Amino acid sequence: MSSQRPQPPGRWPSRAIRLAVRALPPGPTRDRYRYEFLAELYGMSSTRQMRHAAHLLSRSLLLRAAVNRERQSSTLELIMPVVAPRKRLLCRLNVRHKWVRRLNPDREVYLQCRHCGKDLYDVERSTWPNLGGNVAGLRGGI
Ligand SMILES: [Zn+2]
């Protein structure tokens, strides 16, 4: 009585599969496909293993194209494009802000820029030269 144990992948089919997955980008994707294809060989006759490995090898470039296409357009990127918030140039240089009145938690009024969110108090305290505001005594200095 012969036992029907699953036959492990043969030497040449294993090599053919390793060669086939080399077309894929290195890393976890390649490893996953290699393990998957090797697992498919278990239980096949040696002739069938060779035929299956040759088929995978002949399709390796198509598989690479499919994997690369999948990597390029991730669903998350399509749904949520990442856009860096941009500040107006006039705000970044502290040349001009659009001040609006706001209330702090203590119900005190302060001025905040509508575009960049800076407080007037912080802008006046900043050490960066204020090109459009309090230079040369325009705001009551000197
Ligand atoms: Zn601003």
Sign of CA dihedral 38, 39, 45, 47: negative
| Dist. CA 4–CA 37, nearest whole Å | 21
Domain ranges of the chain: 11-72, 89-133
Distance 132 CA to ligand 1 centre (A): 12
Residue 35 and residue 72 in contact, taking contact as beta carbons nearer than 8 Å: no
Distance 126 CA to ligand 1 centre (A): 13
**What residue has token string 């006046």?**
124
Residues around ion ligand 1, judged by CB within 5 A, are 91, 97, 113, 115-116
H or E segment and range at residue 47: helix 46-58
| Dist. CA 57–CA 50, nearest whole Å | 10
H or E segment and range at residue 112: strand 109-113
- Reference 65, options 26, 18, 25; nearest CA is 25
| Dist. CA 37–CA 13, nearest whole Å | 10
Q: Is residue 1 predicted with pLDDT exceeding 80?
A: no
45-49, 78-82, 92-96: least confident range:
78-82
pLDDT tens-place string over residues 105-130: 889 999 999 999 899 888 888 755 55
DSSP label at residue 80: S
22-36, 62-76, 91-105: least confident range:
62-76
Give the pTM.
Answer: 0.47
- Reference 46, options 79, 9, 76; nearest CA is 9
Name the average pLDDT for the chain.
80
